[in-house]
Amino acid sequence: MTRPARHLATWCAPVGAAFALRALVAFVLLGGMPLVSDANSYSVAGIALLDRFPGDRAYFWPPGMPALLAAAYAWLGTDLWVSRLVACLLGTLQVPLSMLLARELFDDPRGVRATGWIAALYPPAVLMSGQTYSQHLAGVALGALALFALRLWRTGRVVDGVCAGIAWGVGCATRPSMLSVGPVLVTLAGVAWLRDRGRAPSLARLAAGAFAAIAATAAILAPVVVHNLRHGAGPTLSTNNEANFFYGNNPYTPDYKTSHLGQREASQLEPVVRDYLARFESAPDPRRAMRDEALRYITEHPGVTAWRTLNRIRAFWGFDYLMARNIQLDRGLGTGALVALTAIEAGGYLVVVALALVALVTSAGQLRRAAAWTLAACVLAYQAPYVVAFSAGTYHFPVMGLVFPFAGLALAGDPRREARWRSARASRPLWIALTVVLAIQVEYAIQTLAWM
């Protein structure tokens, strides 16, 4: 095989396998499963946008995923297969994005290839491939933002700034929590430029690229904000943010599973909790009432808030089991089947995290420092809003595309592989890190079972 053919196969093989595997799960293995939970809500919102664009009320759900679905529905119709196709394509797009990020992170082509296969076979993504959760689009947007930010810092090209801005705008319109990523990237870019002015693009070129990024982001988000302003919701991207903040910070919020009140129907809650929540939901201005009550509770209970914050940090990294549970409920499966499905979903997540830690401990010298810091900063910045509202393992899904390249490097079949694994087995910091990760999973499992 010629070198160009091998290079093409390196990219086409994992991308093709990713789509084929997702289509198999979405259209065959789980073909009879309807859209569930938030995935169905986004589809309903997309159909509403198709019927009446841009809508006649403020956006409760962030409009990014519904708008994408509305565009697909306008072209192909509103049948269920269209929703599944959109989810499959988004999941497949994550594969080349992660491979491109791997090329920014290190030089090893074997690591790039391994990254592609990890992204293609990642069990939580494969199992979710038939559901229109916003995590798919958020992951693509976050990966594209990191990729084009890195390219902008390296080249100073305006086109990279525009692409980064589009990615950030789409990401914020999909999950407003991504607003926190932009300022962190700008700060990191400033520090990097000050440390490496000799080789970095000129400040004027970077400023032009940054301006282009901000303009592109504004072009996407301004219509959303204006729409919500016109419908009395104020300058916001969606109207569910205050409720999430309130559910995670009030007297009845569980200290660990802080997402509990936002994930249960009123009929599933105790009467005293229902009455408490109803008092704010029926207020003249519910969003302000919820926000003020959450702020009051945080101010008056700093100790409890600090403990919940630490719990939210850990819970964000809890294992994936969302689709295992959804499949169990849809098919009426028993506990044994749930355990098996969770082992696949959670096990895939834990393998990727463990491999990423191996690379960080044993192969740090192969990483480009600026790229590594950028990906890490994007992960932490994306997590930050969940630390103050509520958190669960399902929310880490979008950042995994930034973790795949590190895991890919650990699997790279280069001559240093054996030395890498010998170093890993002898590394105390690695074993400490793996122990911490395992402890987080055990705690998450205990808490999850307690609240089922």
Digit-coded pLDDT (tens) for 175-229:
999 999 988 888 877 777 667 666 667 778 888 888 999 999 999 999 999 999 9
Q: Tell me the two tokens of residue 367.
A: 């990483």
Q: What residues contact 42, with CB distance under 8 A and at least 6 apart?
A: 61, 65, 66, 69, 132, 133, 134
Q: Give pLDDT tens digits for 306-330.
A: 999 999 999 999 999 999 999 999 9
- 4 CB burial (10 A radius; 0-12, 13-18, 19+): exposed
| CA distances (Å), origin 289, targets 29, 101, 258, 433 | 45, 43, 19, 42
Residues 354 and 437: beta-carbon distance below 8 Å: yes
How high is the pLDDT of residue 307? Answer: 96
Q: Tell me the two tokens of residue 188.
A: 């990191």
Q: What residues contact 331, with CB distance under 8 A and at least 6 apart?
A: 33, 337
How high is the pLDDT of residue 413? Answer: 62
How high is the pLDDT of residue 251? Answer: 95
Note the Cα 128 to chain centre separation in Å: 13
**Distance between CA 296 and CA 387 in Å, rounded?**
17
How high is the pLDDT of residue 193? Answer: 65
Q: What residues contact 267, with CB distance under 8 A and at least 6 apart?
A: none
**Distance between CA 399 and CA 308 in Å, rounded?**
22
Residues 131 and 432: beta-carbon distance below 8 Å: no
Note down pLDDT in tens along the chain; length 452 residues: 556 656 677 789 999 999 999 999 999 999 999 999 999 999 999 999 999 998 889 999 999 999 999 999 999 999 999 999 999 999 999 999 999 999 999 988 999 999 999 999 999 999 999 999 999 999 999 999 999 999 998 888 899 999 999 999 999 999 999 999 988 888 877 777 667 666 667 778 888 888 999 999 999 999 999 999 999 899 999 998 999 999 999 999 999 999 888 888 877 889 999 999 999 988 989 999 999 999 999 999 999 999 999 999 999 999 999 999 999 999 999 999 999 999 999 999 999 999 999 999 888 788 988 899 999 999 999 999 999 988 888 999 999 999 999 999 998 865 556 666 677 777 788 899 999 999 999 999 999 888 76
Sign of CA pseudo-dihedral 242, 247, 250, 255: negative
